[in-house]
Chains A and B, each alone.
Chain A
Amino acid sequence: MSAINDVAIITRRQLLLLTRVPEVLIFSTIQPVMFVLLFRFVFGGSISTGQPGGYVQLLMPGIFVQTVAFTLAGTASGLAEDMKKGLIDRFRSLPISQSALVVGRTLGDSLLNIVVLTVMGIAGFVVGWRPSAGLGNVALGFLFLLFFGYALSWVGVLVGLSASDARVVQNVSFIVTFPLTFLSNAFAPTTGMPRILQYFAEWNPVSTMVAACRQLFGLKNKFGATAGSYPSEHPLTTSLVYMVVIMAIFIPISLRKYRNSLD
C-alpha cells in the first residue's frame, strides 16, 4: 500500500513541476498543434486520399501516435536530469519503495499526454477532423494512444538511465523515435517506399498503432500498409501485442538498471 502512496507522491511532484514551469506544458502542446496545422495545410492539398473528409482524417491518428511516441524522449530526459542533480541519491536514501521514482515519472508523463492529446484533438477538430465512429470507439482509440505512450515511456526510462548526459538523451531519443514515426504510414502511404522499407513500415508498431486508431476512429483502413499482411489486416491485435511485449521487456530491464545504476 505504501508503495502506491509513494508513487502517487512522485506523480504529484511531476504535475507540480508542470504548474511551476508552465512553459513545459505550453511547448509540449504547441509542437504537436503546429504539426497538425503544417501537415494539414502543406500536404493536405496535394495528397489525394479518396477518403471522405480528406487528408486530415488520416493525418490526425498519425500525429496522435507520433506525439505519444515522443513520450520516450520526455521520460528519458526528465530522468537523466534527476540523475544528474543528485536528487536520485536523496530519493534512494529515503525509506520508500525503490521503484517509486521511476514508476511515478512514467505515470506523470502519461498524465501529461492526456492534456496534450486533448489540446490536439481540439486543434484537429478546428481544422476539419471528424471521427465517424461512435464515442465508445473514439475513447478506446485514445486509451490505445495513452497505453502506447506509457509503454514507450519505459523505453525512455532505460535510455535516461543509460546515457551519461542529459543532452545525449535528447539525441538518442530522437534517433530512436524519428525513423520510427516517419518510416510508417503516419503521414504518407507506405506503398511509395522501396520494398525493404515497406516491410519495415508494415511491421513498425507506429504503423500498426496508426492503423488501429484509424480503424477505431471509423476509417477504412487502407491508407498505408500493404494489403494482405497480418499487421495491416489486424492492427488492433498487433498493436496490443507490441505494447504488452514492450512493457514485458522494458519494465523489468529498466527497473533492474535503476536498482543497479549507482553500483
Chain B
Amino acid sequence: MKSVIADQIVKTYDKGRVRALDNLSLDVEEGTVLSVLGPNGAGKTTVVRILTTLLRPDSGSASVAGIDVIKNPEKVREVIGLSGQYAAVDEILTGYDNLVMFGELYHLGKKQAVIRANELLERFALTEAAKRPIKTYSGGMRRRLDLAASLIVKPKVLFLDEPTTGLDPRGRQEMWGVIEELVKGGVTLLLTTQYLEEADQLADEIAVIDTGKVIARGTSDALKKQVGGERLEVVVEQANVAKTLEIVAAVSGNKASLDEGLRLISAPVSTGSAALFEVLKSLDSAGIHALDVGVKRPSLDDVFLSLTGHAAEEKRAENEEKKRGRK
C-alpha cells in the first residue's frame, strides 16, 4: 500500500512567475524510506510543506496514510510527524518544557505528556540537557529534540526536511544513527536531502528532483549505475601529465580525460581499489610522483551532471571556488 501519494502537483509563487513544483508526482510505499534528493531551490521543502498541510498546491492531489491532504488537512495532522529544516522548537523554553507542551497539544493530558517527554529525552540522549533552554543546545541536539517533538504520538508517516543540513560531521553521524533506529522500527519516512551520501545511507528509494520535477527515481545502486560508477583520479606535476594520461588510460581501459587547471587526469573504472593499486605501481615504475590519487564515487554533482546536463547549484559554486583557490 502507498502511504504517501503526490499526483501532478503544481505550485507557483509570485503570481505564476516562479514555478516551484511543476507537475510533480511521487509516492512512498508503506514502511519504506523515500529520499527526495535535489539542490537548493529544487522544490524539496515545497513538497514537504504541501504533504504536511502547511501549503496548498495550485493543482494536483495528494494523500497521506490514505487521507486527502487538501480536503482533510486536520485528519492528516493527526497521523504525521514533521521535523523541518530549522529546528522548530521554542528556544527560550527547556527541552523538557517543549516536549511536554507539544505532548499536551497532541491531547495526551499532562500526566501522559510528562511520561512521553521523559521517554523521548532518554531515547535521544537528551536527559542531561532536559532542563536547559534550547538556545544552549548544539545544532545536533536541537535537531534531535526537534525530531523527538515530531515523534510524540508515533506518527504513521514521518517527514524530515533536510535533517542534517548545517550539522557538523559528528552531528550528522549522530542524526543518521537516530534515523536508522527509527527506520528499523518500521516507520514510513519521506526525507529530503542535498547529499547523495545521506540518501544512500538511509533510503530504500531515491527520487531526484530538479526545478520542481522528478527527473529520476530508483534505488541508490540503480542511480549510480545510471551515472556510470567510479572514477580513477590522479593529480601530477605539469611535466608528467602526458605520460600519466597514457598510464591511466591503460589501467582503466577507458579514454582518460584531463582537467588542465587542476592537472587532474581521470577515467571511469570498474575495479575500484584494484585499479588504484595498479595505477600506483605503473606510476612508480615510470618514476612519476603522484600529488594526489584516488577512486571517486559518484557524487550528487555527478548524478546531476549526467541526468540534467547541469551541475547541482551549490556544488558547482563550491568547485569553482576550489579551482580559484588552487590557482
Contact = CB atoms under 8 A, between A and B. Distances in A.
B82 A89 contact: yes
Interface string A80-111: 00000111011111111000000000000000
Interface in B269-291: none
B77 A89 contact: no
A113 to B, nearest CB: 20
A17 B88 CA distance: 16
B163 to A, nearest CB: 14
B54 A92 contact: yes
Interface stretch (B32-40, B101-109, B239-247, B301-309): B101-109
Contacts of A85: 86, 88, 91
Nearest to B152: A94
A96 B93 contact: no
A9 interface: yes
Contacts of B97: 16, 20
Given A2-B107, A95-B77, A263 B55 contact: yes
Contacts of B49: 89, 262
Nearest to B58: A263
Interface in A148-197: none
Contact of B149 (A17, A90, A96): A90
Contacts of A89: 49, 54, 82, 84, 88
Interface string A231-263: 000000000000000000000000000000011
A21 interface: yes
Contacts of A16: 93, 97
Interface residues of A, number: 23
Interface residues of B, number: 31
Interface in B100-131: 101-102, 104-107
Interface string B75-95: 001101010111111111110
Nearest to A100: B105
Interface string A114-141: 0000000000000000000000000000
Interface residues of B, dominant DSSP: loop
B88 A90 contact: yes
Contacts of B86: 85-86
A10 to B, nearest CB: 8
A143 to B, nearest CB: 30
A95 B72 CA distance: 11
Contacts of A262: 49, 54-55
Contact of B92 (A12, A20, A95): A20
Contacts of B52: 93
Given A90-B82, A90-B84, A17 B102 contact: no
A86 B78 CA distance: 20
Nearest to B161: A89
21 contacts: A6-B105, A9-B101, A13-B101, A17-B93, A20-B92, A20-B133, A86-B85, A86-B88, A87-B89, A89-B84, A90-B82, A90-B84, A90-B102, A93-B52, A93-B77, A94-B106, A95-B77, A96-B105, A262-B54, A263-B55, A263-B56
Given A5-B107, A262-B55, 16 more contacts: A12-B101, A17-B93, A20-B97, A85-B88, A85-B91, A86-B84, A86-B87, A89-B49, A89-B54, A89-B84, A89-B88, A90-B102, A90-B149, A95-B107, A96-B105, A263-B55
